Amino acid sequence: MIDFRGRHREIAALDAMWRGPDSVFLPVYGRRRVGKSEMIVHFMEKKPGIYFVGKRAPGETQITEFLETAARALNEPLLAQARVSGWREALDLVVKRHTGKQKLILALDEFQWMAEGATELPSVIQELWDRHWAKSGRVMLILCGSYLGFMEREVLGKKSPLFGRRTGQILLRPFNHLEAAEFHPRWSVIDHAKAYAICGGIPMYLLAFDEKLSIEQNIIARVLDEISVLFREPEFLLREELRDLMPYHAVLMALAQGKTAPAQLSSTTGIDVRGLNYHLSTLVDLGYVQRRYPLTEDKPGVRTVRYALDDPFLRFWFRFLFPHQSTLRLLGPKQGFTEIIKPELDAYFGRCFERLCRECLPMIYQAENVRAVFECGEYWDKNTQIDVVGVRQDGWTDLGECKWKDITSIKPLADELESKIPLYPNKRNATISRRLFVRSVKSSAKLPGVRVHTLKDLYALKSPP
């Protein structure tokens, strides 16, 4: 039995689509380990449907396995013995064999691999949808994929044969910090933030952490122990999508060490710019790396692009485990943690806290009833670095400074932020709102025009609807 958590909104939407009168064509996509397959399987329980997982195999092999899967799901043994000429005949045959009154769910998971083995598959599905399925009201087609770039280009993109056919879409993202905290409800907000900095919002990683253990004990027992599920998880994760891992390991380690500019990455990894761009684009398409630009009212320039590891566990693993694997094996989990990880762990949490604060800004706007269109990010140039930036279309811009500390007075941090404000390119003369983000503050004294957000405040916010 799958330990399924959350995704109540998505499950409700899927159920409403299935119960509706019309056929459904629904792409479901998101990075690997985010819980797409578990969500679909959970939704399909006690409903008529076929759940098929594609693989890296020739089209003929996959068609045979698909028919065998359909035969079991529909209790139609003869389907497994059917001889068909290709995907069009196989899909058409299976859907026609469903004679029940309820809508048939046809879920094709790892669709990118199915299409890799049969490049004609998107066109085949387009033809079947246009000629038969769309009008019937009897089919719920779910195309699920983990390769974000492929799904956006080959399923949702304008050049795809499937463009314009979808009746909805679900981009499944990792859980936010509030949803992630529900996995360990008895922890303090500090422990929640630390766990989020390591596991992110990935269900599998959060489930690996034991609420009865401290964060340090979880790192030792659930990450550093060689028999733990997370010890080699990034290797298995990347191997599922990529063939030659060496250059990707080099790029990810450089990113985890704080190298963000293309020139820095090329110099650190020894990979030429052309090869580097290819590897970075692949990691972006997989959802593990993010392109970032300094946020202002103006459109960003190409030269200002930076890259960041968007997956917290990959960031942690390539920062602490990958460069020190031999030493960690020699020292063992406890001593390895004490000597290699612990001295730098608080600084690591500090950088992750900045990311958490940026993620929380839209929720803060929601709590403050900000109705304007906005964009959230950070700002940097050769003169300054501003941790949190919110550009709003109501004439306001929010600038924020973050500090992963329990502070006694907000004034030094407020002064630090104030010194950076003249360096921010406020070309539209927006009114600047000042925000400070801290782990906690002992003094209740306030400064005019400065809003303070503690970690406790961030965990008291509400998730977007």
Per-residue pLDDT band for 301 (boundaries 50, 70, 90) equals low
pLDDT cut 70: percent of the chain above it = 99
Whether 439 contacts 455, CB under 8 Å = yes
Secondary structure (DSSP) of 37-68: HHHHHHHHTTS-EEEEE--SS-HHHHHHHHHH
Read off the pLDDT of residues 151-162 as tens digits, 9 standing for 90 and up. 999 999 999 999
Residue 186: CB atoms within 10 Å: 7
Given a cut of 70, whether residue 217 has pLDDT beyond it is yes
417 has a pLDDT exceeding 80: yes
Per-residue pLDDT tens over the stretch 57-102: 999 999 999 999 999 999 999 999 999 999 999 999 999 999 999 9
- Domain 177-353 part of CATH 3.50.50.60: no
- Please tell me the predicted confidence (pLDDT) of residue 2: 54
Confidence of residue 3 (pLDDT cuts 50, 70, 90): low
Q: So what's the pLDDT on residue 303?
A: 72
**What is the location of CATH 3.40.1350.10 in the chain?**
368-458
**For 354-382, what is the mean pLDDT?**
97
Burial of residue 120 (CB within 10 Å: 0-12, 13-18, 19+) is middle
Question: 């959230």: which residue's tokens?
Answer: 376
pTM, entire model: 0.94
* DSSP code per residue over 59-97: HHHHHHHHHHHHHHHHT-GGGGG---SSHHHHHHHHHHH
Buried b (16+ CB within 10 A) or exposed e, 383-416: eeebbbbbbbeeeebbbbbbbbeebeebeebbee
Structurally, what CATH architecture does the domain formed by 8-171 represent?
3-Layer(aba) Sandwich (3.40)
Q: What is the per-residue pLDDT for 1?
A: 46
What number does CATH give the domain 368-458? 3.40.1350.10
SS (HEC) of 400-458: EEEEEEEECCCHHHHHHHHHHHHHCCCCCCCEEEEEEEEEEECCCCCCCCEEEEEHHHH
pLDDT in tens, 441-454: 998 778 999 999 99
Q: Tell me the residue type at 228.
A: S
**CATH 3.40.50.300 domain residues, the chain:** 8-171
Q: Which value, to the nearest 10 degrees, does the dihedral of the CA atoms of residues 15, 16, 19, 25 take?
A: -80
pLDDT at 310: 96
The residues facing 344 across adjacent strands are: none
- pLDDT grade for 302, boundaries at 50, 70 and 90: low
Classify the phi-psi angles of 378: left when phi > 0, otherwise alpha if psi is within -120 to 50, otherwise beta: beta
Q: CA–CA separation, 430 vs 164, rounded Å?
A: 39
pLDDT in tens, 219-265: 999 999 999 999 999 999 999 999 899 999 999 999 999 999 999 99
Rounded average pLDDT over 256-279:
96
376 and 390 in contact (C-beta within 8 Å)? yes
Question: What is the structure's pLDDT at 5?
Answer: 81
Task: Give me the phi and psi of 244, to 5 degrees please.
Answer: -95, 105
